[in-house]
Amino acid sequence: MTDINTTSHQITVVDIWQWLDRGVVAYRPQLTDLTGCPIATLFFGQLIYWDGKQRDPEGWIYKTQNEFHKELRLSRWNQESARKRLKKLGLIEERYTKSIPRRLEFKLNKPNIEAQVMELIKTGKLSSLTIL
């Protein structure tokens, strides 16, 4: 595939679809039953995507606000709002590193996520999971 940077090239719909396929982000609408907000769901889903890919053995994920913006196209305000909601729900944790410069890192609160999903299933607010 060739990058098209010039207006002299005729762009086709096929070119556009191929270009869009480069940055697919999964949106898992079922998680909105857990988060209560589609934007928080998008942010949460991206943290789920990065979980297991981080270098930190304790599960902390380092992503900058700019990286999240490039991946999700969420504004600073949307990101901060999503983070606030996810922290309040106990779905994620945040910490600042002690290094210079300080870095904001994220961690999924897996025991709390599991407990909340089980509660949603028990109360009938989420259909039971099929484990593959």
Q: 35-83, pLDDT tens digit by residue?
A: 999 999 999 999 999 998 988 889 999 999 999 999 999 999 999 999 9
pLDDT band with cut points at 50, 70 and 90 for residue 132: low
User: Residue 9, class by beta-carbon neighbours within 10 Å (0-12 exposed, 13-18 middle, 19+ buried)?
Assistant: exposed
The 10s digit of each residue's pLDDT in 11-41 is: 788 777 776 667 778 888 889 999 999 999 9
Q: What per-residue confidence (pLDDT) applies to 23? A: 72
Q: Using alpha carbons only, what angle is made at residue 88 by residues 102 and 78, rounded to the nearest 5 degrees?
A: 65
